[in-house]
Amino acid sequence: MISAVSTRRRGWGAYEVAVAALFGVVLVVTVAWGMLLPAFDGPDEPWHHNSVARLVDGGGWPPAYEAMVLESTWNAVCESGAAVPGEAGRSTPTSPGERGPLLDGTSQGSAVPDFMLQHPPAHYGLVAVVVTAAGGGDVAWDRAQLVMRAVSAVLVASAVALVVGAVRWATGDRRAGLVGGASVLAIPFFTNAGAYVSNDTLLVAACSATLYLLLRAVREPGAAAWLLPAAGAAYGLALLTKGFALFLAPVVAVLTVLVVIGRRDDRRRSVLQAGAAAVLCLGIGGWWWIRNYLTLGTVQPSRLGARERSESPIDGYSLQDFAVGALDRLNATFWGRGGRPEVALPDVVPWTLSVVLGILVVVALTHRGARWLLVVLAFYPAAVAGTVILNAHGIYWDTGRPFQGVQGRYLYSGVAAFCLAVGSAFHVVSRRLPPRMDRAALPALLIILVAGSVAAQVWTLTRTWASRDPGSALLRGVAEGSPWTLWSVLAVAVVGASSAVLVTAAARVQVEHRAPHL
């Protein structure tokens, strides 16, 4: 049976102010990453940047691998001082005042294919609209990339606000929602990765919106008729963003069924709403994958995936070495940028964080009202992780290249499960604390999480710039030699102000220890 967790409230109270403040904290932290990190520093960022530039140029979205990376994109990469694929070393950064435009007036392509075309175009289309509004192809490429990164930051911050709501509805506790949402700050690479130009950011936001709407529909008494159709639209957007969203389908189906069976007095209308959700989902994004299968014979085209499979493994193959190494890399690249030795977290940090997360999951599973929802939500990141490792094993078997494509950041679109585990554990523990400690626990945890995030940012930026020319910075003041720490101090000041509002408002949020149940 599904029981209500809250009644409707009007106006802004302490909880709403706290959510807005947390949105502000995550936004500023993520924007600071985007402003202070070198140009084209993110995973595959030149290709993501290029796909946006091509849409701004009116080049559309050709079939996979049928368009080349624009010459203007490689010119920008060279001017930034970043490494160009296939060339040794880095070029010398161009003076910020001499950097070229996003588009050089021609549509000439290089000899390098744009492999982002294997993905759907939703993220790139959204960012292209914003870049066009900001000046389009005539804008200097560095300023255009700042705009692209700013869009990513807004999407990630929005996802966190949605996750707060998802955890709140799942646990029946607003304070647990705040802790759960803020817990993303305990993943140092989450806001870092969220600052880059990448379709992962829209995927995180769309999946988080889908889960928030579905969990609210499951829990809210007299849930509005628009919730299920809106969830279908959000999931459709996720499907039009990246293929990993396909693995969210079982979670969406289970939660939708819970909504329908929970409305015994109005089941027919609920079924109609679920049908509308399915139509919207297919109409917005599901069609993309059906079309791929019917026209290409595969769900997602991939040149590496289309390689000739070997019946026997390559010389030196070791399943044990692969399994241990793949899990270690997945863990390291979930918490930090483990693929970059100069900025990778010390080995003890990701493994310590994973042990803590494991303990929190065990505690969270004692939350009778939310444990089955946690199991349902956890299916999604587990399915993504399993697929990533299975795919990497096939590549290792055939080519001897271990761990290719093993990236923990691919799990971020399922961050709601991580946050629900943390929020549920907080709910379980806090209800057993003395009242005074209970009231102090939430503000204390929020302060620790924000401080830890800022410390990780300073630590990473210091090591990043230790080996990079300041001229590769996107911010012109930094690139011209101004101390980048001044920008960090400004970011810390803004984060501090937002955090003060967050902690003050959170301290006023009502304690809710009556857990819902299924």
Q: Is the pLDDT of residue 16 over 90?
A: yes
Q: Nearest Cα to 247, choosing from 213, 203, 293?
A: 203
Q: Is the pLDDT of residue 8 over 70?
A: no
Mean of pLDDT values over 137-159: 96
- Using one digit for the tens of pLDDT, what is the confidence trace for 398-408? 888 888 889 99
CB 180 within 8 A of CB 422: yes
The one-character DSSP state at 40 is T
Average per-residue pLDDT for the chain: 89
Query: Which residues, including other chains, have CB under 8 Å from residue 69's CB and lie 6 or more apart?
Result: 46, 47, 50, 109, 110, 112, 113, 114
Q: What is the pLDDT of residue 513?
A: 52
- Among 58-72, 156-170, 267-281, the minimum mean pLDDT is found in 58-72
Return the top range by mean pLDDT from 156-165, 220-229, 307-316: 156-165
CA 516/CA 43 separation, integer angstroms = 41
CB 408 within 8 A of CB 331: yes
CA 292/CA 278 separation, integer angstroms = 19
CA 509/CA 505 separation, integer angstroms = 7
Q: What is the pLDDT of residue 307?
A: 57
Environment class of 457 (CB within 10 Å of its CB; exposed 0-12, middle 13-18, buried 19+): buried
Mean of pLDDT values over 161-180: 96
Share of the chain above pLDDT 70, in %: 91
Q: Nearest Cα to 174, choosing from 427, 374, 439, 419?
A: 427
Q: What is the pLDDT of residue 298?
A: 87
CA 249/CA 211 separation, integer angstroms = 11
Q: Is the pLDDT of residue 288 over 80?
A: yes
Q: What is the pLDDT of residue 2?
A: 44
Under the banding of pLDDT at 50, 70 and 90, the label for residue 7 is: very low
Number of residues that this document lists for the chain: 518
pTM, two decimal places: 0.93
CB 360 within 8 A of CB 352: no
Q: Is the pLDDT of residue 90 over 80?
A: no
CA 436/CA 443 separation, integer angstroms = 12
Q: Looking at per-residue confidence, does 457 or 9 come out higher? A: 457
CB 148 within 8 A of CB 127: yes
Q: What is the pLDDT of residue 303?
A: 64
- Using one digit for the tens of pLDDT, what is the confidence trace for 492-516? 788 889 899 999 999 888 766 554 5
- Among 103-107, 161-165, 170-174, 470-474, the minimum mean pLDDT is found in 103-107
CA 436/CA 418 separation, integer angstroms = 27
CA 5/CA 374 separation, integer angstroms = 16
Q: What is the pLDDT of residue 103?
A: 93
Q: Which residues pair with 83 in a beta bridge?
A: 90
Helix (H, G, I), strand (E, B) or coil at 320: helix
- Using one digit for the tens of pLDDT, what is the confidence trace for 183-240? 999 998 999 999 999 999 999 999 999 999 999 999 998 888 999 999 999 999 999 9
CB 447 within 8 A of CB 386: no
Q: Nearest Cα to 15, choosing from 183, 167, 154, 155?
A: 167
CA 186/CA 202 separation, integer angstroms = 21
CA 288/CA 236 separation, integer angstroms = 10
| Tokens 């030196």, residue located | 316
Helix (H, G, I), strand (E, B) or coil at 74: helix
The one-character DSSP state at 414 is G
- Using one digit for the tens of pLDDT, what is the confidence trace for 362-418? 999 999 889 999 999 999 999 999 999 998 998 888 888 888 889 999 999 999 999
Tokens standing for residue 472: 């590769």
Q: Nearest Cα to 240, choosing from 286, 208, 277?
A: 286
CA 344/CA 346 separation, integer angstroms = 6
Under the banding of pLDDT at 50, 70 and 90, the label for residue 88 is: low
What one-character-per-residue DSSP string does 187-243 give? SHHHHHHTTSS-THHHHHHHHHHHHHHHHHHHHSTT--TTHHHHHHHHHHHHHTT-G
Q: What is the pLDDT of residue 514?
A: 52
